[in-house]
Structure 1
Amino acid sequence: MITQIVKFDIKLDKVEAFKAALIADKLGAKSENGCLELRLFQDKKQPNIIFAYERFNNNEALTHHASQPYTAVVFDLLKTSAQAALIIMKLNDTTPSPLHENNPKQPHKEDDVFIIFFIFKIKAGYREKILNQFGTHVKSTRAEEAGNIIFDLYTVEGQEDTFAVYEHWRTESDVWDIHFNQPYAVETGKLMNEAVVGELEQYMNFVTEF
Protein backbone atom coordinates (compact mmCIF):
# COMPACT_ATOMS: atom_id res chain seq x y z
CA MET A 1 0.00 0.00 0.00
CA ILE A 2 1.12 3.55 -0.76
CA THR A 3 0.28 6.30 1.73
CA GLN A 4 1.04 9.94 1.14
CA ILE A 5 0.26 13.41 2.41
CA VAL A 6 0.00 16.19 -0.15
CA LYS A 7 0.29 19.77 1.09
CA PHE A 8 -1.05 22.69 -0.95
CA ASP A 9 -0.39 26.38 -0.29
CA ILE A 10 -3.10 28.28 -2.19
CA LYS A 11 -3.75 31.99 -2.78
CA LEU A 12 -6.57 33.05 -0.48
CA ASP A 13 -8.78 34.30 -3.28
CA LYS A 14 -8.43 30.94 -5.06
CA VAL A 15 -9.08 28.67 -2.07
CA GLU A 16 -12.79 27.99 -2.59
CA ALA A 17 -12.41 27.18 -6.29
CA PHE A 18 -9.45 24.93 -5.52
CA LYS A 19 -11.37 23.12 -2.77
CA ALA A 20 -14.22 22.51 -5.21
CA ALA A 21 -11.78 20.92 -7.67
CA LEU A 22 -10.35 18.72 -4.93
CA ILE A 23 -13.82 17.58 -3.88
CA ALA A 24 -14.57 16.61 -7.48
CA ASP A 25 -11.27 14.72 -7.55
CA LYS A 26 -12.19 12.89 -4.36
CA LEU A 27 -15.61 11.95 -5.73
CA GLY A 28 -14.02 10.67 -8.93
CA ALA A 29 -11.49 8.63 -6.99
CA LYS A 30 -14.30 6.68 -5.31
CA SER A 31 -14.83 4.82 -8.60
CA GLU A 32 -11.14 3.79 -8.78
CA ASN A 33 -10.53 0.29 -7.43
CA GLY A 34 -6.95 1.15 -6.50
CA CYS A 35 -7.76 4.28 -4.49
CA LEU A 36 -8.34 3.07 -0.94
CA GLU A 37 -8.78 6.40 0.83
CA LEU A 38 -8.65 10.08 -0.12
CA ARG A 39 -9.48 12.66 2.55
CA LEU A 40 -9.21 16.45 2.41
CA PHE A 41 -8.42 18.95 5.16
CA GLN A 42 -8.04 22.71 5.58
CA ASP A 43 -5.91 24.36 8.25
CA LYS A 44 -8.02 26.23 10.82
CA LYS A 45 -5.54 29.06 11.35
CA GLN A 46 -4.13 29.25 7.84
CA PRO A 47 -7.02 28.63 5.41
CA ASN A 48 -4.59 28.80 2.49
CA ILE A 49 -3.02 25.52 3.66
CA ILE A 50 -4.80 22.36 2.45
CA PHE A 51 -3.83 18.73 2.96
CA ALA A 52 -4.83 15.56 1.13
CA TYR A 53 -4.31 12.24 2.91
CA GLU A 54 -4.21 9.45 0.32
CA ARG A 55 -3.86 5.66 0.35
CA PHE A 56 -3.51 3.60 -2.83
CA ASN A 57 -3.06 -0.11 -3.50
CA ASN A 58 0.23 0.38 -5.38
CA ASN A 59 2.15 2.65 -7.76
CA GLU A 60 -0.04 1.60 -10.69
CA ALA A 61 -3.15 2.76 -8.82
CA LEU A 62 -1.50 6.08 -7.98
CA THR A 63 -0.46 6.56 -11.62
CA HIS A 64 -3.98 5.71 -12.75
CA HIS A 65 -5.44 8.32 -10.40
CA ALA A 66 -3.00 10.97 -11.62
CA SER A 67 -4.08 10.31 -15.22
CA GLN A 68 -7.79 10.94 -14.62
CA PRO A 69 -9.47 14.09 -16.02
CA TYR A 70 -10.70 15.24 -12.59
CA THR A 71 -7.12 15.04 -11.28
CA ALA A 72 -5.88 16.97 -14.32
CA VAL A 73 -8.29 19.79 -13.39
CA VAL A 74 -6.64 20.04 -9.96
CA PHE A 75 -3.15 20.26 -11.42
CA ASP A 76 -4.22 22.77 -14.06
CA LEU A 77 -5.78 24.95 -11.39
CA LEU A 78 -2.60 24.75 -9.32
CA LYS A 79 -0.77 26.67 -12.03
CA THR A 80 -2.71 29.82 -11.23
CA SER A 81 -3.76 29.11 -7.63
CA ALA A 82 -0.59 27.99 -5.82
CA GLN A 83 1.55 30.50 -3.96
CA ALA A 84 4.22 27.94 -3.05
CA ALA A 85 5.45 24.67 -4.49
CA LEU A 86 3.34 21.55 -4.03
CA ILE A 87 4.73 19.21 -1.34
CA ILE A 88 4.20 15.45 -1.69
CA MET A 89 5.31 13.31 1.25
CA LYS A 90 5.41 9.58 0.59
CA LEU A 91 5.10 7.82 3.93
CA ASN A 92 6.55 4.56 5.19
CA ASP A 93 7.78 2.53 8.18
CA THR A 94 4.41 2.58 9.87
CA THR A 95 1.58 0.49 11.19
CA PRO A 96 -1.31 2.66 10.03
CA SER A 97 -4.80 2.59 11.45
CA PRO A 98 -7.32 0.59 9.42
CA LEU A 99 -8.88 2.23 6.38
CA HIS A 100 -11.46 4.75 7.48
CA GLU A 101 -14.49 2.64 6.63
CA ASN A 102 -12.97 -0.42 8.37
CA ASN A 103 -11.77 1.37 11.49
CA PRO A 104 -13.69 0.05 14.53
CA LYS A 105 -13.08 3.40 16.27
CA GLN A 106 -15.63 5.66 14.58
CA PRO A 107 -16.74 9.17 15.63
CA HIS A 108 -19.95 9.44 17.63
CA LYS A 109 -22.68 11.85 16.59
CA GLU A 110 -21.87 14.13 19.51
CA ASP A 111 -18.13 14.25 18.78
CA ASP A 112 -16.53 17.50 17.64
CA VAL A 113 -13.67 15.69 15.91
CA PHE A 114 -10.26 17.31 16.37
CA ILE A 115 -7.67 16.49 13.68
CA ILE A 116 -3.93 17.18 13.64
CA PHE A 117 -1.14 16.89 11.12
CA PHE A 118 2.12 17.14 13.08
CA ILE A 119 5.00 17.00 10.58
CA PHE A 120 8.30 17.69 12.28
CA LYS A 121 12.06 17.63 11.76
CA ILE A 122 14.59 16.22 14.22
CA LYS A 123 18.25 16.77 14.99
CA ALA A 124 20.90 14.23 13.98
CA GLY A 125 21.23 11.21 16.27
CA TYR A 126 17.61 11.07 17.48
CA ARG A 127 15.90 8.97 14.80
CA GLU A 128 16.04 5.60 16.58
CA LYS A 129 15.08 7.14 19.92
CA ILE A 130 12.03 8.75 18.33
CA LEU A 131 10.99 5.49 16.63
CA ASN A 132 11.40 3.49 19.86
CA GLN A 133 9.49 5.97 22.01
CA PHE A 134 6.65 6.34 19.53
CA GLY A 135 6.38 2.56 19.30
CA THR A 136 5.13 2.62 22.90
CA HIS A 137 3.30 5.91 22.48
CA VAL A 138 1.23 4.84 19.46
CA LYS A 139 0.35 1.44 20.91
CA SER A 140 -0.69 2.89 24.27
CA THR A 141 -2.68 5.77 22.78
CA ARG A 142 -4.70 3.46 20.55
CA ALA A 143 -5.34 0.87 23.25
CA GLU A 144 -5.89 3.01 26.34
CA GLU A 145 -7.48 6.31 25.28
CA ALA A 146 -11.20 6.29 24.59
CA GLY A 147 -10.96 9.73 23.02
CA ASN A 148 -8.59 8.61 20.29
CA ILE A 149 -9.86 7.57 16.85
CA ILE A 150 -6.65 7.57 14.75
CA PHE A 151 -3.04 7.90 15.85
CA ASP A 152 -0.40 7.10 13.23
CA LEU A 153 3.33 7.77 13.07
CA TYR A 154 5.04 7.84 9.67
CA THR A 155 8.55 8.36 8.41
CA VAL A 156 8.87 10.35 5.20
CA GLU A 157 10.54 8.67 2.25
CA GLY A 158 13.86 10.30 1.36
CA GLN A 159 13.88 12.50 4.47
CA GLU A 160 15.65 10.80 7.36
CA ASP A 161 15.06 13.80 9.62
CA THR A 162 11.29 14.09 9.08
CA PHE A 163 8.32 12.38 10.74
CA ALA A 164 4.58 12.80 10.35
CA VAL A 165 1.95 12.17 13.03
CA TYR A 166 -1.65 11.96 11.83
CA GLU A 167 -4.30 12.11 14.58
CA HIS A 168 -8.09 12.15 14.98
CA TRP A 169 -9.67 12.75 18.41
CA ARG A 170 -13.28 12.79 19.54
CA THR A 171 -12.86 16.26 21.07
CA GLU A 172 -10.05 18.77 21.47
CA SER A 173 -10.03 18.27 25.24
CA ASP A 174 -9.11 14.60 24.70
CA VAL A 175 -5.74 15.88 23.46
CA TRP A 176 -4.86 18.68 25.86
CA ASP A 177 -6.56 17.50 29.05
CA ILE A 178 -6.09 13.73 28.79
CA HIS A 179 -3.57 12.61 26.16
CA PHE A 180 -0.71 14.91 27.09
CA ASN A 181 -1.03 13.91 30.75
CA GLN A 182 -0.46 10.22 30.09
CA PRO A 183 2.93 8.89 31.33
CA TYR A 184 4.03 7.77 27.85
CA ALA A 185 3.06 11.15 26.37
CA VAL A 186 5.01 12.96 29.08
CA GLU A 187 8.10 10.88 28.22
CA THR A 188 7.59 11.53 24.51
CA GLY A 189 7.29 15.24 25.23
CA LYS A 190 10.62 15.29 27.05
CA LEU A 191 12.32 13.54 24.15
CA MET A 192 10.67 15.78 21.56
CA ASN A 193 11.85 18.92 23.34
CA GLU A 194 15.41 17.61 22.98
CA ALA A 195 15.11 16.15 19.50
CA VAL A 196 12.98 18.51 17.42
CA VAL A 197 14.52 21.34 15.43
CA GLY A 198 12.98 24.58 16.73
CA GLU A 199 9.67 24.95 18.55
CA LEU A 200 7.13 22.13 18.40
CA GLU A 201 4.23 24.51 17.72
CA GLN A 202 5.56 25.48 14.29
CA TYR A 203 4.96 21.95 13.02
CA MET A 204 1.36 21.56 14.20
CA ASN A 205 -1.52 21.96 11.77
CA PHE A 206 -5.01 21.78 13.30
CA VAL A 207 -7.37 21.03 10.44
CA THR A 208 -11.02 20.62 9.47
CA GLU A 209 -12.11 17.91 7.04
CA PHE A 210 -14.12 18.95 3.99
Structure 2
Amino acid sequence: MFVRIVKMSFKEDAIDVFLEHFNKNKVCIRNFEGCRFLELYRDQKNPNLFFTYSYWNTEADLERYRHSDLFAAVWAKTKPLFNDKPEAWSVDKVASLQ
Protein backbone atom coordinates (compact mmCIF):
# COMPACT_ATOMS: atom_id res chain seq x y z
CA MET A 1 0.00 0.00 0.00
CA PHE A 2 1.14 3.50 -0.87
CA VAL A 3 0.07 6.39 1.39
CA ARG A 4 -0.02 10.00 0.24
CA ILE A 5 -0.46 13.08 2.44
CA VAL A 6 -0.93 16.50 0.85
CA LYS A 7 -0.91 19.77 2.84
CA MET A 8 -2.76 22.71 1.29
CA SER A 9 -3.22 26.25 2.58
CA PHE A 10 -6.00 28.36 1.07
CA LYS A 11 -6.90 32.02 0.84
CA GLU A 12 -9.57 32.74 3.42
CA ASP A 13 -12.14 33.77 0.84
CA ALA A 14 -11.46 30.64 -1.23
CA ILE A 15 -12.18 27.98 1.40
CA ASP A 16 -15.85 27.55 0.54
CA VAL A 17 -14.97 27.31 -3.16
CA PHE A 18 -12.38 24.63 -2.40
CA LEU A 19 -14.78 22.63 -0.21
CA GLU A 20 -17.49 22.76 -2.86
CA HIS A 21 -15.02 21.67 -5.52
CA PHE A 22 -13.65 18.86 -3.33
CA ASN A 23 -17.15 17.61 -2.54
CA LYS A 24 -18.03 17.50 -6.23
CA ASN A 25 -14.93 15.44 -7.05
CA LYS A 26 -14.22 13.30 -3.97
CA VAL A 27 -16.18 10.26 -5.15
CA CYS A 28 -14.45 10.31 -8.56
CA ILE A 29 -11.05 10.60 -6.90
CA ARG A 30 -11.83 7.81 -4.42
CA ASN A 31 -13.12 5.59 -7.24
CA PHE A 32 -10.11 6.24 -9.46
CA GLU A 33 -8.43 2.92 -10.25
CA GLY A 34 -5.95 2.10 -7.50
CA CYS A 35 -7.30 4.50 -4.86
CA ARG A 36 -8.40 2.59 -1.78
CA PHE A 37 -9.11 5.39 0.70
CA LEU A 38 -9.52 9.17 0.76
CA GLU A 39 -10.01 11.61 3.62
CA LEU A 40 -9.87 15.39 3.98
CA TYR A 41 -8.77 16.99 7.24
CA ARG A 42 -8.91 20.61 8.42
CA ASP A 43 -6.53 22.04 11.01
CA GLN A 44 -8.28 23.01 14.25
CA LYS A 45 -6.19 26.13 14.87
CA ASN A 46 -5.63 27.30 11.30
CA PRO A 47 -8.89 26.97 9.34
CA ASN A 48 -7.08 27.78 6.06
CA LEU A 49 -5.00 24.59 6.34
CA PHE A 50 -6.23 21.28 4.89
CA PHE A 51 -4.72 17.84 4.39
CA THR A 52 -5.72 15.02 2.10
CA TYR A 53 -4.83 11.52 3.17
CA SER A 54 -5.13 8.74 0.61
CA TYR A 55 -4.19 5.09 0.17
CA TRP A 56 -3.14 3.77 -3.22
CA ASN A 57 -2.44 0.19 -4.27
CA THR A 58 0.89 1.23 -5.79
CA GLU A 59 2.94 4.31 -6.56
CA ALA A 60 2.15 3.69 -10.23
CA ASP A 61 -1.58 4.02 -9.47
CA LEU A 62 -0.99 7.40 -7.82
CA GLU A 63 1.14 8.51 -10.78
CA ARG A 64 -1.60 7.42 -13.21
CA TYR A 65 -4.04 9.59 -11.25
CA ARG A 66 -1.59 12.51 -11.18
CA HIS A 67 -1.36 12.34 -15.01
CA SER A 68 -5.10 11.86 -15.58
CA ASP A 69 -7.70 14.23 -16.97
CA LEU A 70 -9.47 14.07 -13.60
CA PHE A 71 -6.41 15.32 -11.72
CA ALA A 72 -5.79 18.04 -14.34
CA ALA A 73 -9.35 19.31 -13.96
CA VAL A 74 -9.31 19.19 -10.16
CA TRP A 75 -5.88 20.82 -9.89
CA ALA A 76 -6.73 23.57 -12.41
CA LYS A 77 -9.54 24.77 -10.14
CA THR A 78 -7.71 24.17 -6.85
CA LYS A 79 -4.30 25.70 -7.57
CA PRO A 80 -5.48 29.35 -7.88
CA LEU A 81 -7.09 29.11 -4.43
CA PHE A 82 -3.81 28.52 -2.54
CA ASN A 83 -2.16 31.15 -0.37
CA ASP A 84 1.00 29.05 -0.02
CA LYS A 85 2.76 26.32 -1.95
CA PRO A 86 1.25 22.88 -1.27
CA GLU A 87 3.43 20.13 0.16
CA ALA A 88 3.11 16.38 -0.40
CA TRP A 89 4.60 13.31 1.24
CA SER A 90 4.55 9.68 0.23
CA VAL A 91 4.86 7.62 3.39
CA ASP A 92 4.95 4.00 4.53
CA LYS A 93 2.50 2.94 7.21
CA VAL A 94 4.56 1.68 10.12
CA ALA A 95 1.77 0.91 12.59
CA SER A 96 -2.02 1.11 12.69
CA LEU A 97 -4.23 0.45 15.72
CA GLN A 98 -8.02 0.28 15.70
Could you tell me the TM-score, scaled by structure 2's length? 0.84
**How far off its partner does 1:19 sit?**
1.7
Counterpart amino acid of 1:8?
M
Q: Which has the higher contact order (CA 8 A, sep 6+)?
A: 2
**How far off its partner does 1:65 sit?**
1.7
Counterpart amino acid of 1:66?
R
Secondary structure of residue in 1 paired with 2:45 = coil
**How far off its partner does 1:45 sit?**
2.2
Secondary structure of residue in 2 paired with 1:20 = helix
Question: Equivalents in 2 of 1:93, 1:42: separation in Å?
Answer: 21
Structure 2: runs of 5 or more not aligned: none
User: Could you say which residue in structure 2 is the equivalent of 1:52?
Assistant: 52
Q: Report if aligned partners of 2:34, 2:56 keep a CA contact under 8 Å in 1.
A: yes
Residues 149-164 of structure 1 aligned to structure 2 (within 5 Å): 149=98
After TM superposition, the runs of 4+ consecutive aligned structure 1 residues lying more than 4 A away are none
User: Could you say which residue in structure 2 is the equivalent of 1:138?
Assistant: none
Secondary structure of residue in 2 paired with 1:83 = coil
Q: Report if aligned partners of 2:3, 2:93 keep a CA contact under 8 Å in 1.
A: no
Figure out how many residues of one structure are paired with residues of the other and give that number. Answer: 98
Q: Report if aligned partners of 1:21, 1:70 keep a CA contact under 8 Å in 2.
A: no
Query: Quick check: which has more Rg, 1 or 2?
Result: 1
**How far off its partner does 1:93 sit?**
5.9
Matched, 1:75 2:71: no
Could you tell me the TM-score, scaled by structure 1's length? 0.42
User: Could you say which residue in structure 2 is the equivalent of 1:124?
Assistant: none
Matched, 1:11 2:11: yes
User: Could you say which residue in structure 2 is the equivalent of 1:41?
Assistant: 41
Structure 1: runs of 5 or more not aligned: 98-141, 143-148, 150-210
Matched, 1:63 2:35: no
User: Could you say which residue in structure 2 is the equivalent of 1:31?
Assistant: 31
**How far off its partner does 1:21 sit?**
2.0
Counterpart amino acid of 1:91?
V
Counterpart amino acid of 2:34?
G
Secondary structure of residue in 1 paired with 2:24 = helix
Counterpart amino acid of 2:80?
T
The alignment yields a C-alpha RMSD, in angstroms, of 1.9
**How far off its partner does 1:11 sit?**
0.3
Question: Equivalents in 2 of 1:73, 1:42: separation in Å?
Answer: 22
Matched, 1:91 2:91: yes
Secondary structure of residue in 1 paired with 2:3 = strand
Q: Report if aligned partners of 1:5, 1:88 keep a CA contact under 8 Å in 2.
A: yes
**How far off its partner does 1:69 sit?**
3.4
Question: Equivalents in 1 of 2:93, 2:76: separation in Å?
Answer: 32
State the percentage of identical aligned residues.
Answer: 24
User: Could you say which residue in structure 1 is the equivalent of 2:21?
Assistant: 21
Counterpart amino acid of 1:36?
R
